[in-house]
Amino acid sequence: MARYLFLALLMLITACEQQTGRGGDSVGLDPALETDGESLRTVVFGRGGDSVGLDPALETDGESFKVCDNIYETLVAFVPERTDLAPGLATSWQASEDGLTWTFRLRENVVFHDGTPFNADAVVFSLARQFKPDHPFNKVEGAYQYWAGMSMSDIVKDVRKIDDLTVSIDLKRPNAPFLANLTMNFCAIVSPVAVEKWGADFARHPVGTGPFRFVEWIKDDRVVLERNPDYWGPAPKIDRLIFRSIPENSVRLIALTQGSIDGMDNLVPDFLPTIESDENLALLSQPGMNVGYLAMNMDKEPFQNLNVRRAVNHAINKQSLIDNLYQGLAIPAVNPIPPTLWSYRQETPGYEYDPEKARTLLSDAGFPNGFKTTLWAMPVPRPYMPQPQKIAQAIQADLQIVGIEAEIVTYEWGTYLDKVQRGQHDMALLGWTGDNGDPDNFLYILLDKSATQMPANNISFYRSDPLHDVLVAAQKESDKAKRTALYQQAQEIVFHDAPWVPLVHATQTAAFRTRVKGFKLHPTGSKWFHDVMIEE
């Protein structure tokens, strides 16, 4: 039976290749890239789902950001493989003594993919559109959710052009994570001319300054990028980069083993022996700066009840999930932030797996016979949850043991995100990979009361004044030791209130054909291909 399944999947891969070409050869590239009759150096990356959009200020999902990482750039960047900050489109920056004004010197001789110049006007345009009501592109569908979720309008007072290559950003209050926030996709600099040309359709016609530029997007199939011949930095080492959408994990693995794709992420643990035993494949892994969680919607019954939320925490066997569905490529989560992140609270006891205690808590809450609810699960693999449907089924079985009947609900990825961010779920699986190496990026973004404004990042709709006060105090504090103490206090509050079941911190993995060299995993989960090369 397994042999027939493998053959059927292989036939599907072959049919897809006959339809689209190995790297989408029907795509017309810039003639300048066709040199000396040599074949194009193409890397095809297989992923579990398609992008939602390609406007970095509007997107919130990792599949969109994988592509945006290679099209756009930010003022501040990361060094390779770490979250230390480095110059990006800004070559230097300086803060005023009171911490309320940051001045950035911009990189010279940079142009957007459409040939227009990168300058201070572009920086002001890209940031101001997200918070200034009188900006002509402020009122758009999507409402700049990341900017709102990061409470940037409560932090940023103004963005000002000093001269063509100098920009100042004025803050309403000192904010310790501010500089790290500028590394994130929502702060990427876009071409004002392209936004004005395409309007609401800019998300399908992206124009940045990055090492690769957009060619085409065939929905649910592929996004094609080509090398930017005018890139300001060292030239990319490949000519073409293709992101292929292959939702079925086993089909994606066969595509990798057969050479139809060159790399993939969100590996199912069952596949590791196949990858490790194949001399043509290389496995990459590192501890993940992520968390996978089950959020309980506190705007809905019965999840307003603390004993119910604690009962759900005690009902789920996290170690069984890891043993059976992660095969050791994860650790049980106790706090909302991973232990790889500074300020992690080691003293948090966690909720041990105890079905009997869960039943007692449910009885104390007025549900001696349990209750019926829904459990929403993602349709696509994520870095923190490579098999979300199977994880949902395992959680469903655990809940059934204590009397909670949970119907599993799922939707297409973009629809799923939209619905849970608008609070339509009872319980929902989701997760997060840290964007900037700061605890604020987990605790404030996912659990602060300010993040419940729809479309919400705080999908538990948990509103705690004590937590909010601690998190804002941590933002204002510049001393790292004092910030650490505040974030540990925040983790204690979240543990007590139990808006989530923190499930796992997953190991970050990827696999490539051995001919692909130079790809490096990054703690943020970003997928940068600038330094990738092909050795035949």
Query: Can you tell me the distance from the alpha carbon of 129 to that of 126, in angstroms, rounded to the nearest whole number?
Result: 6
The whole-model pTM stands at 0.77
- In SS3 terms, 90-139 reads as EEEEEECCCCCEEEEEECCCCECCCCCECCHHHHHHHHHCCCCCCCCCCC
Query: Can you tell me the distance from the alpha carbon of 45 to that of 51, in angstroms, rounded to the nearest whole number?
Result: 13
Mean of pLDDT values over 277-294: 94
488 token code pair: 């540990």
175 token code pair: 């904010």
Query: Can you tell me the distance from the alpha carbon of 473 to that of 469, in angstroms, rounded to the nearest whole number?
Result: 6
Mean of pLDDT values over 339-362: 96
Encode pLDDT of 12-65 as tens digits.
Answer: 444 444 333 333 323 344 444 444 445 789 999 999 889 999 999 999 888 999
Query: Can you tell me the distance from the alpha carbon of 1 to that of 43, in angstroms, rounded to the nearest whole number?
Result: 33
Q: Which of 152, 145, 153, 57 is nearest to 454 (CA)?
A: 145
Structure confidence at residue 16 (pLDDT): 42
Structure confidence at residue 527 (pLDDT): 94
Question: Side-chain half-sphere of 280: how many Cα atoms within 13 Å?
Answer: 13
- Tell me whether domains 76-197 and 290-507 share a fold: no
Encode pLDDT of 374-418 as tens digits.
Answer: 999 999 888 899 899 999 999 999 999 999 999 999 999 889 999
Domain 76-197 in CATH 3.90.76.10? The answer is yes
Burial-class residue 268 by CB neighbours within 10 Å (0-12, 13-18, 19+): buried
21 token code pair: 């070409």
Q: Which of 525, 250, 241 is nearest to 382 (CA)?
A: 525
310 and 498 Cβ atoms separated by less than 8 Å: yes
Domain residues of the chain, as ranges?
76-197, 290-507
Average pLDDT, the chain: 91
Higher pLDDT, 157 or 4: 157
pLDDT at 115 over 80: yes
290-507 in CATH: which number?
3.10.105.10
190 and 57 Cβ atoms separated by less than 8 Å: yes
Encode pLDDT of 84-104 as tens digits.
Answer: 899 999 999 999 999 999 999
Structure confidence at residue 40 (pLDDT): 85
Omega before 229 cis (within 30°)?
Answer: no
